[in-house]
Structure 1
Amino acid sequence: MRTSIRISVVFWTIALLTALGWWISRILVFKQIFFEHAGIAVTQRQVADLYNSTADPRPQLIPKIIHQVFHNWKEPGNDALPEDWARNRDTCTKPNPDFKYILWTEKSSRDFIEREYPWFLKTYDGYRHKVQRVDAVRYFILLFHGGIYLDLDNGCKGDLTPLLYYPLWITDGGRGALSNNILAAQPNHPYWARLTMSLIPYDYNWFFPYATISYASGQWFETAIWEEYHSLLPKPEENPNIEHRLYRLMMDDRPEADEWVFFTQERGGTWVNWDNRMFLWIGDHLFLFFLMIVGAVSGTAWLSLKAMRRYRQGGYTRLSNRSSSI
């Protein structure tokens, strides 16, 4: 009996220590996702000023295309944008009449994946949450067509031409993970190639809908691949004349942050699950949350080790045999 208890305690101790190691590794990954971002941060004002001050025009790298994705989950088949999103669209198309505008519907999105990337169709159709298809298709659109992608709740303040002279940029809210609400690239950029090829291995159910969406196809996923991509680039000192890093366009909405020159943010909340509020709290208290995780796992491991020592030092008393006479 005592031996079996010891084996059980040892088993659970090893399991808990393994879990602790796993959580520490996740914390290190999340540290990169939420706190340390590679690439070159540029403000919208810097982009505009550089464009206006450059005497010799640089080569335009990003094609003049604006992409948006509208999958009408409430009324399938109705591809007319709601009035407020139509106004947002107009703020982008009217100041940029020489840009091609493409609205990707649920049908055209799936047809595009089936036609150009059939190897991904099974994963695309099998996503647990509908918003994951909206996430995924934007990456393939930029890989194939290039251009500028905007979420429907984003609008524009004017001419987007100054943003076209970079090979690729994504948006950075200045806190937490990088954003995937506004993105841009030249066609066939290797970052989007690496990201789209990573969608299948990252397609994992994390139980919580918010975590599954974010880390399987959304912002956490995009940020993880961003850091991975930059870790594989040549170091700046290896060839200082060539810039391999990609750009992060800052979109911090805090009052003290840099002004937004090109974009606006209107209503959001197009996908809400029961755990959103919990993860929003975690996002505002990341350090405290990680301390709680480490403390809980460490405390459980310590209690298990203490229980094992108690069994080693303790014992049991053999009861003497007593015969009873009748």
Structure 2
Amino acid sequence: MRKELKYILWGHAALIAFLVYCSYDLISLLFDDSFQDALLDIELNPADGKIEKPNVIPKIIHQTYKDEHIPKLWQPGQKACVELHHDYQYILWTDDTAREFIAEEYPWFLSTWDSYPYPIQRADAIRYFALAHYGGIYIDLDDGCVRRLDPLLTVPAFVRQTVPTGISNDVMGAVPKHPFFIKVLGNLQKYKRNWLVPYITIMFSTGPLFLSVMLQQYKRYGVPEAAKVRILLPEDYKTHVFSFFAISPGSSWHLDDAKFNNGHSSLLDEWPAHCLTKGTE
């Protein structure tokens, strides 16, 4: 009996260790260390208004939507981003052009692309491929620009911090072939799982939770300065006089759980609107 109890205890210990191992990345999100990589006010808002550091992220504004008919709700934000950045090239990605891009440049991913059950997963994936391939600054279309994004071009990569922890994938930027986004591409197939609940499936396969886990893994063993991913803090994102963006009423898809569960699941059948910025110095 004592021997059997010993086996049971060891079995439970092994199970607990396995569960901790499998959920370590999620647990690590509880310990937010993003402030050490935060973009500083002096970098984003220099006293004399002059940006001393050269651009490393290129300039182009890519917008992605299911077709060419952008909803009126998001058109003012889209127009603001374009007009504030007249020196940026502008490209609109649609469902068709996004798939053509994947088929031509990343054929190894096409079967995964086509097998995603929700269009939002393809909308998430295309932003990662666009950043890894072209570089630039990605912005959801409901994030209208209120100032020029040039200060964000001076770091190799950045993402936006969320509260209370983790990062979002609605605003982010990188140089072409940045190692973080190469890592993201390399893990999309691995994380393509069905978690039964659509919201969780999306969040953990291609969405912000997936991206947050990728960043935790990326930073685990240290990152050289040139390969760091900097953090855009909430006050620099919106609602302050020096913020870069203003949010349009009606977010793209990721409503809170209550709204999602009260009949908004049809949003999963729509592309959210997205804006991506890339270009040359």
Q: Which residue of 2 aligns with 1:36?
A: 32
Query: RMSD across aligned C-alpha pairs, in angstroms?
Result: 3.4
Query: In the TM superposition, what are the counterparts of 1:152-163 in structure 2 within 5 Å?
Result: 152-163=141-152
Counterpart of 1:276, as a letter, is: D
Tell me the TM-score normalised to structure 2 length. 0.79
Q: Flag the structure with larger Rg.
A: 1
- 1:287 aligns to what? none
What are the residue-to-residue correspondences of 1:288-299 with 2, within 5 Å?
A: none
For residues 251 and 15 of structure 2, what CA distance do their matches in structure 1 show? 34
1:103 aligns with 2:105: no
- Which residue number in structure 2 is paired with residue 187 of structure 1? 176
**Correspondence 1:49 to 2:45:** yes
Give 2:55's aligned amino acid: Q
1:96–1:36 distance in 2 versus 1, CA, 3 Å: same
Q: How does 1:6-25 map to 2 (within 5 A)?
A: 20-25=16-21
- Cα offset, 1:216, TM superposition: 0.8
8 Å CA contact 2:236, 2:244 repeated in 1: no
Q: Does residue 1:59 correspond to 2:54, yes or no? A: yes
Secondary structure in structure 2 of the residue aligned to 1:184: strand
Give ranges in structure 2 of 5+ residues lacking alignment.
262-281
Cα displacement (A) at 1:231 = 1.7
- C-alpha contact 1:174 1:252 (8 A) present in aligned 2: no
- Structure 1 residues 271 and 12: CA distance shift in structure 2, 3 A: farther
2:252 partner amino acid: T
- Residue 261 (1) aligns with residue 257 (2): no
Instruction: Encode CA deviations 1:249-298: one digit per residue, 9 max, x unaligned.
Output: 1125999x96652111223443369x933999xxxxxxxxxxxxxxxxxx
State which drifts further: 168-177 or 260-269.
Answer: 260-269
State the partner residue of 1:309.
none
Deviations 1:143-190 (A, max 9, x none): 111111111111011211121111111111242320100111111111
Q: Secondary structure at the match of 2:46?
A: helix
Please say which of residues 264-273 and 144-153 is displaced more in the overlay.
Answer: 264-273
Please state if 1:138 is matched with 2:127: yes
Within the candidate set 116, 120, 124, 2:113 is matched to 124
Of 71, 75, 97, which aligns to 1:82? 71
Distance 1:136 1:223 in 2: 14
Shift of 1:247: 0.2
Cα 1:12–1:109 shift into 2, 3 Å:
farther
Which string of whole-angstrom CA distances, capped at 9 and with x for unpartnered residues, describes residues 100-149 of structure 1? 12221111111110110000000011112110000000000011111111
**Identical amino acids, percent of aligned pairs:** 30
Deviation at 1:63, TM superposition (A): 1.0
- Within 2, Cα distance between the matches of 1:184 and 1:128? 27
Q: Scaled by the length of structure 1, what TM-score is found?
A: 0.69
State the AA in 2 paired with 1:227.
Q
CA distance in 1, matches of 2:235, 2:7: 48
Aligned-partner Cα distance in 1 for 2:75–2:229: 31
Gap runs ≥5 in structure 1: 72-77, 236-241, 281-326
SS of aligned partner of 1:179:
strand
Higher relative contact order (CA 8 A, sep 6+): 2
1:52/1:221 CA distance change after superposition, 3 Å: farther
Distance in 2 between residues matched to 1:115 and 1:254, nearest whole Å: 34
Structure 1 Cα separation of the partners of residues 127 and 172 of structure 2 = 9
Code of the residue aligned with 2:258 in structure 1: it is: R
Whether the aligned pair in 2 keeps the contact of 1:170 and 1:179 (CA below 8 Å) is yes
> Which one-letter code corresponds to 1:183 in the other structure?
M
How far 1:54 moved relative to its partner?
5.2
* 2:201 match: 212
Aligned to 1:42, what secondary structure does the other structure show?
A: coil
Paired letter, 1:246? V
Counterpart in 2 of 1:317?
none
